[in-house]
């Protein structure tokens, strides 16, 4: 190899050094790499008839070149969006199943609306009446929504304090007790009214025996061990039970509550003083798990780490081997289903438009998650679009479809 070829190779290496920011240990490798090229110039000339060195370092240093390719913006973006697209279905399926269960239940339990109204009245200060004025309904609905969000805030703050002072056993007991209560009381109540609606013959002894075993298996499958499918089924049922009850709130209170909880979600997850943000940051600093009920995009439900409790409204991507997918709190399942359930009480066409809005908002959230790679609130886009689609479907789409039916 002549001196011109050697100088050309040196210029190429200098260009790579000045154009790419490398760690210190990789820059230290460059000089010795240059010496290797000069020492092996004769063998390179014999293998390359043209006598010119090929551009790039991949032929001589594959690992070094792989690092460059991995850090390139285009390949990183392609890989990121490919991963996000694969997680869409794993998030969409349980959300859809939960909403379908709620829609089916609310349409088959209309005869029991008085009982549900009595139960949900416990959570409200203002009792909405059809004779009230619009101003009174709006003020009362806002008051109910603010108090409900305040209760969620208090519960979340208590959860954060317990975790901060390492009261893990108390947190686990709290979650087990609340899960068992939801399965036994909410599940038992809904099952009782479904039995009455469909006139299924069953005695009280058999009913409570089945309910007790149903609750016991649910607690064990969520907090101890079970097949993944059974674990997923119970978490979907818990979300459905809560959504069925909350969808029986008065109409004005329901819409005010959904908007208020979406705004609270932004504060809790993104604000520096937000309780859920503090909870996640504390867990990351300690590098230890937080017991919580979550849905993982890698098809794993159950107690997970670096996330909030079951009332949370947060999406987060983990880089751990066990759960590298997207995490969605069960509270998000609940409020998605409350919106669709409330729409189903009015009309199925409106419910379908709300479903499209919620899924579209969820896609947007997953897209932003793939771009920013950080914890994001899961409710704002979905609830916002769902509410907009509800009123568009109720006041524009449904009258248009009915008019077409009359004229056709």
Inter-CA distances, 100 with 13, 73, 237, 312, 405, Å:
61, 40, 11, 22, 26
Bridge partners, residue 303, by sequence: 293
Q: Quick one: average pLDDT of 153-160?
A: 94
Residue 301 forms beta bridges with which residues? 295
What's the mean pLDDT when you consider all of the chain? 76
Q: Answer yes or no: is pLDDT of 6 > 70.
A: no
Is 332 among the catalytic positions?
A: yes
List 28, 203, 332, 347, catalytic entry: 332
Answer for the pair 157, 79: CB distance below 8 angstroms, yes or no.
no
Q: Tell me, what's the pLDDT at 83?
A: 61
Do the Cβ atoms of 374 and 308 come closer than 8 Å? no
CA distance 122 to 110: 20
Q: What integer pLDDT is reported at residue 3 of this predicted model?
A: 52
CA distances from 139 to 91, 133, 147, 252 (A): 36, 10, 12, 10
User: What pLDDT digit, counting tens, does each position of 347-396 carry?
Assistant: 899 999 999 999 999 989 888 887 887 778 999 999 999 999 999 999 99
Q: What percent of the chain has pLDDT over 70?
A: 67
Report which of residues 88 and 14 the model is more confident about.
88
Res. 181: pLDDT tops 60: yes
Residue 280 has what pLDDT? Answer: 82
Q: Which residues are paired to 295 by β-bridges?
A: 301, 328
Alpha helices in 109-203 (DSSP H): 113-120, 134-164, 168-181, 187-198
Q: Edge to edge, what strands does the sheet with 315-317 contain?
A: 300-303, 293-296, 326-329, 315-317
Q: Which of 265, 304, 305, 306 is catalytic?
A: 265
Residue 80 binned pLDDT confidence (cut-offs 50, 70, 90): low
Q: Is the pLDDT assigned to residue 157 strictly greater than 90? A: yes
pLDDT digits (tens, 9 = 90+) for 190-223: 999 889 888 899 999 999 999 999 999 999 998 8
- List b or e across 277-291, with b for residues whose CB sees 16 or more CB atoms inside 10 angstroms: bbbbeebeeeeeebb
Question: Active site includes 265?
Answer: yes
């Amino acid at each position: 190899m002549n001196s011109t070829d050697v100088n050309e190779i040196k210029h190429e290496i200098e260009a790579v050094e000045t154009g790419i920011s490398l760690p210190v240990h990789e820059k230290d490798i460059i000089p010795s790499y240059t010496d290797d090229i000069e020492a092996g110039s004769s063998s390179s000339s014999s293998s390359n008839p043209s006598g010119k060195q090929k551009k790039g370092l991949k032929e001589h240093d594959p690992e070094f070149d792989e690092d460059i390719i991995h850090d390139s913006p285009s390949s990183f973006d392609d890989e990121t969006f490919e991963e996000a697209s694969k997680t869409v279905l794993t998030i969409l399926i349980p959300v859809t199943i939960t909403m379908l269960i709620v829609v089916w239940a609310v349409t088959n339990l209309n005869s029991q609306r008085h009982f549900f109204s009595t139960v949900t009245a416990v959570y409200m200060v203002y009792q909405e009446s059809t004779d009230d004025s619009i101003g009174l309904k709006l003020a009362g609905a806002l008051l109910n929504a603010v108090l409900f969000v305040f209760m969620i805030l208090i519960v979340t703050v208590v959860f954060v304090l317990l975790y901060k002072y390492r009261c893990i056993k108390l947190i686990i007991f709290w979650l087990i007790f609340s899960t068992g209560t939801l399965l036994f009381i909410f599940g038992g109540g809904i099952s009782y009214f479904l039995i009455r609606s469909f006139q299924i013959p069953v005695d009280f002894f058999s009913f409570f025996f089945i309910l007790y075993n149903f609750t016991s298996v649910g607690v064990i499958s969520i907090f101890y061990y079970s097949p993944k499918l059974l674990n997923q089924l119970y978490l979907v049922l818990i979300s459905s039970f809560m959504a069925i009850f909350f969808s029986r709130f008065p109409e004005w209170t329901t819409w005010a509550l959904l908007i208020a909880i979406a705004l609270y979600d932004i504060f809790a997850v993104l604000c520096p003083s937000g309780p859920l943000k503090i909870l996640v940051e504390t867990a990351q600093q300690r590098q230890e798990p937080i017991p919580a009920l979550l849905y993982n995009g890698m098809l794993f439900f159950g107690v997970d780490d670096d996330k909030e409790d079951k009332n949370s409204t947060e999406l987060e991507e983990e880089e751990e081997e066990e759960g590298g997918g997207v995490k969605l709190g069960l509270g998000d399942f609940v409020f998605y289903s409350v919106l669709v359930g409330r729409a189903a009480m009015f009309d199925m066409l409106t419910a379908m438009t709300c479903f499209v809005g919620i899924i579209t908002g969820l896609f947007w959230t997953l897209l932003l998650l793939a771009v920013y790679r950080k914890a994001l609130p899961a409710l704002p886009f979905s609830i916002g679009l769902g509410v907009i689609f509800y009123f568009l479907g109720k006041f524009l789409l449904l009258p248009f479809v009915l008019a077409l039916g009359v004229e056709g």
